[in-house]
Structure 1
Amino acid sequence: MAASKVTIDPEIRLFLDEMTARWAQHPPFADLSFPEQRRVSEAVRARWTEGGPAMAGAEERLFDPGAGELRIRVHKPEGAGDPAPALVYLHGGGFTLFSIDTHDRLMREYAARGGFAVIGVDYPLSPEHKYPVALDRIEALMLWLRDNGRDLGVDPHRLAMGGDSAGANLSIAAALRLAARGEAGLVRAILSNYGYFSPEVSDEAEARFGGPGSIMDRAEAQSYYVNYLSDWAEADDPLASPLLADLAGLPPLFLVIPECDLLAEQSLAMETRLRRAAVDVKAKIYPGATHSFLEAMSVAKVARDAIEDGADFIRQAMADPS
């Protein structure tokens, strides 16, 4: 990415301004407990979950797939088939915030645009649940889907994974875990939306995209890793920081990269490492977009375009059931 100054897309700027106004209606975030932070985050994000496509079917389950309890929500659009290909989607929020409720419209948009089911996962959040608790349960869910996916109307031979920010981290880490246990073919593709792959944030990224008034600065980003890890030494674990991992053998992967994002450098570094590992990778930079920009789909064309691109990628990757 060039070092020249970038300009935030006007429609994304409206999204950010409204978010700022909504945050201002609540007490300072740092003064809140983690449960209170989550409650406020849900309230602030509620505006952006409204509307969107209706689903032909939806199912929610609270169950233990093998490593602890999970809540999942399955969205199936008209014409997806039975069993349907499915994208397992992991919401962002720095391992600490958000839920399948904050990301419900985004998941429905992917389902409607791609013609596949989307399975949203409420994995356990930090700091109450430290690494690798969430990863353990996500891996167990994927193995459960392998054996029981048809109970949900899902084709276990056509499963993809994806997520935004911390969810992209968990998607890649889960795929690496599965490959290590001989299940490399279980995940057919990975959709990475503004992934958070390492606690390291450069001075340049902080200067250009962090600081007062930004959607996220370095201190906030690194605080999420503090929540996630039991000990800072775990940041060197490739499954906690996938930028350090041996990425060979991963399935086709699409990196959605907002131009004006503190973490854009991490996706660009991930692209380089994936290509060196001979992984089939596609990367696209979205001009004027920031972290979390996909949530602005109701007001921003750049968000709708990125969702369409992601849906096309997953649909094509799972077109062949063999």
Structure 2
Amino acid sequence: MQPNFLIRRAVQLGLAANALRPLRARSTSVPAFFAGWLTSELAPQFLALTAADTAVHLARHGVRDRSTQVGLGLAAATAVGLGASIRTGHGARDEIERALTEALGDDYAEELGRSDLGLPWSELALPFRMGAPDVQVDRNIAYAPGGKRFLLDVYRPSEPVTGAPVLLQVHGGAWVIGNKEEQGRPLMRYLARRGWVCVAINYPLSPAHRWPAHIVAAKQSLAWIRREIASYGGDPRFVAVTGGSAGGHLSALLALTQNDPALQPGFESIDTSVQAAAPHYGVYDFAATSGSPASKYRLESLLARRVFAPDRDPVSHLDDYIAASPLDRITSDAPPFFVIHGRDDSLVPVREAREFVRRLREKSKNPVAYAELAGAQHAFDVFTSVRSAHVVRGVARFLDHTYLQWKAAQ
């Protein structure tokens, strides 16, 4: 008997199954996310590991005992599941491209002069390697007083540039954890190589800092960009914003509350407009006004307890939560949006993104692209994978197109 081999194959099959069909109960959402996220985005690596482990076991023990025979069956089922995850991840290319053509027109790629649908095989082989010799990073620049939570990093081409478009990256982490080094780096690295200047920020975290400290800090970083980014080669007149999860919430809110004096205490006269937004798996129904049970649970269990001050409960201070909710701040002046969400997101259900996009399209006079990615969990873009590589290139095409449209209108 070889029980360890059988246990390994059973665990791997469970992970592959959860990646394809995540557990849906609220009590299992966090473990389902972690297991499904890593397995689906690293499916090629897990497939190779399964094959190697199985081959080594067979070379040592053969197939004589019953546990090995059962384990081989489990390994075969795992390979089928992981293969399905790989195919689904690669399908993001068509999902992204369909979203862009629907929003920007069938000829948008011709206007760009490129389609750029290939995959970065060297990066896929080393998915957690984030450095790039052709990208310069200026680290830990203070954008406002207050210490390390008010620092930013600037990613830019190693060769000097002038007048480059700017991307602001806002990290996620449920408004309570996270930092600027952890998210958005594949996108920033790719854009910097293409001549963009990218800015990744820290911001105050709860519960030490209560709302609206998070969005005020994000707007302070925009004020810094307006003042200082030209010295790094950026054009302060064109700033796009992106972020995932809580960063998706903050980036969407930045785009929808441009120059709102209530969120700019002491710097009300500074231009905090953004010219495009590309939030990923964001929280949009902050005040639970849609009636979604998941949004209501998040409001009561996290936002009211940890993010807002204890005396700002959502019953008697609902207006404060609505003011912080992208879903309730949409106007016709919203900039171009590219909303991206995973269909299998265990932490922020996809219906929240669908409703946000529906309302955006009802009111906004600018393009609203929406890509709903089959098989994608929360945080699918943190490191390089087949899916995230397609997403990065699609977001870059959206931003480049929006920038060209903006330049033509100047």
Place the TM-score, normalised by the shorter chain, in its bin: 0.7 to 0.9
Residue 76 of structure 1 and its aligned partner are, at CA, apart by 0.8
User: Which residue in the other structure is 2:278 paired with?
Assistant: 191
Q: Say if 1:78 and 1:169 are closer, same or farther in 2 by CA, change over 3 A.
A: same
- Number of aligned residue pairs: give it: 276
Q: Write out per-residue CA displacement over residues 38-82 of structure 1, whole angstroms, 9 at most, x where no aligned residue.
A: xxxxxxxxx964345344322124324479861000001356832
For 1:79 and 1:315, the matched residues in 2 are separated by 19
Residue 151 of structure 1 and its aligned partner are, at CA, apart by 2.4
Is 1:227 equivalent to 2:303 in the alignment?
A: no
Instruction: Look up the equivalent residue of 2:237 and give its one-letter code.
Output: H
For 2:304 and 2:242, the matched residues in 1 are separated by 20
User: Which residue in the other structure is 1:307 paired with?
Assistant: 392
Q: How does 1:126-275 map to 2 (within 5 A)?
A: 126-180=206-260, 186-199=273-286, 200=288, 202-203=292-293, 222-223=301-302, 226-230=305-309, 231-233=312-314, 236-237=319-320, 238-261=322-345, 262-275=348-361
Is 1:276 equivalent to 2:362 in the alignment?
A: yes
For 1:104 and 1:291, the matched residues in 2 are separated by 13
Q: How does 1:81-92 map to 2 (within 5 A)?
A: 81-92=161-172
Q: Which has the higher helix share?
A: 2
C-alpha contact (below 8 Å) 2:19/2:37 kept by paired residues:
no
For 2:170 and 2:156, the matched residues in 1 are separated by 17
User: Which residue in the other structure is 1:29 paired with?
Assistant: none
Residue 157 of structure 1 and its aligned partner are, at CA, apart by 1.3
C-alpha contact (below 8 Å) 1:53/1:108 kept by paired residues:
no
C-alpha contact (below 8 Å) 2:332/2:363 kept by paired residues:
yes
Deviates more, 1:167-176 or 1:125-134: 167-176
Of 135, 138, 142, which residue of structure 2 is paired with 1:63? Answer: 142
Q: How does 1:7-46 map to 2 (within 5 A)?
A: 7=20, 12=37, 14=39
Q: Say if 1:219 and 1:159 are closer, same or farther in 2 by CA, change over 3 A.
A: closer
Runs of 4+ in structure 1 displaced over 4 angstroms?
Answer: 8-13, 15-18, 66-69, 181-185, 218-222
Of 307, 318, 322, which residue of structure 1 is paired with 2:403? Answer: 318
Residue 106 of structure 1 and its aligned partner are, at CA, apart by 3.0
Residue 8 of structure 1 and its aligned partner are, at CA, apart by 5.4
C-alpha contact (below 8 Å) 1:50/1:105 kept by paired residues:
no
Q: Say if 1:266 and 1:55 are closer, same or farther in 2 by CA, change over 3 A.
A: farther
Of 82, 95, 104, which residue of structure 1 is paired with 2:175? Answer: 95
Of 132, 148, 163, which residue of structure 2 is paired with 1:53? Answer: 132
Identity %: 22
Residue 155 of structure 1 and its aligned partner are, at CA, apart by 0.7
C-alpha contact (below 8 Å) 1:191/1:253 kept by paired residues:
yes
Q: Say if 1:7 and 1:100 are closer, same or farther in 2 by CA, change over 3 A.
A: same
For 2:231 and 2:193, the matched residues in 1 are separated by 24
Instruction: Provide the TM-score with structure 1 as the length reference.
Output: 0.73
Residue 136 of structure 1 and its aligned partner are, at CA, apart by 1.0
Q: Write out per-residue CA displacement over residues 217-249 of structure 1, whole angstroms, 9 at most, x where no aligned residue.
A: x66994256321112325643342211223321
Instruction: Provide the TM-score with structure 2 as the length reference.
Output: 0.59
For 1:220 and 1:13, the matched residues in 2 are separated by 27
For 1:173 and 1:48, the matched residues in 2 are separated by 30
C-alpha contact (below 8 Å) 2:167/2:240 kept by paired residues:
yes
For 1:283 and 1:144, the matched residues in 2 are separated by 30
C-alpha contact (below 8 Å) 1:159/1:187 kept by paired residues:
yes
Q: Which has the higher strand share?
A: 1
Q: Say if 1:151 and 1:225 are closer, same or farther in 2 by CA, change over 3 A.
A: farther
C-alpha contact (below 8 Å) 1:139/1:178 kept by paired residues:
no
Of 361, 372, 394, which residue of structure 2 is paired with 1:285? Answer: 372
For 1:222 and 1:294, the matched residues in 2 are separated by 26
Residue 272 of structure 1 and its aligned partner are, at CA, apart by 0.7
C-alpha contact (below 8 Å) 1:55/1:75 kept by paired residues:
no
Q: Say if 1:114 and 1:309 are closer, same or farther in 2 by CA, change over 3 A.
A: farther
Q: Write out per-residue CA displacement over residues 114-134 of structure 1, whole angstroms, 9 at most, x where no aligned residue.
A: 531210000111111111112
Q: Write out per-residue CA displacement over residues 74-94 of structure 1, whole angstroms, 9 at most, x where no aligned residue.
A: 001356832321100001111
Instruction: Look up the equivalent residue of 1:276 and give its one-letter code.
Output: E
Instruction: Look up the equivalent residue of 1:194 and give its one-letter code.
Output: Y
Unaligned 5+ runs, structure 2: 1-17, 23-34, 44-125, 262-268
CA RMSD across the alignment: 3.4
C-alpha contact (below 8 Å) 1:8/1:290 kept by paired residues:
no
**SS at the partner of 2:179?**
coil
Q: Say if 1:221 and 1:291 are closer, same or farther in 2 by CA, change over 3 A.
A: farther
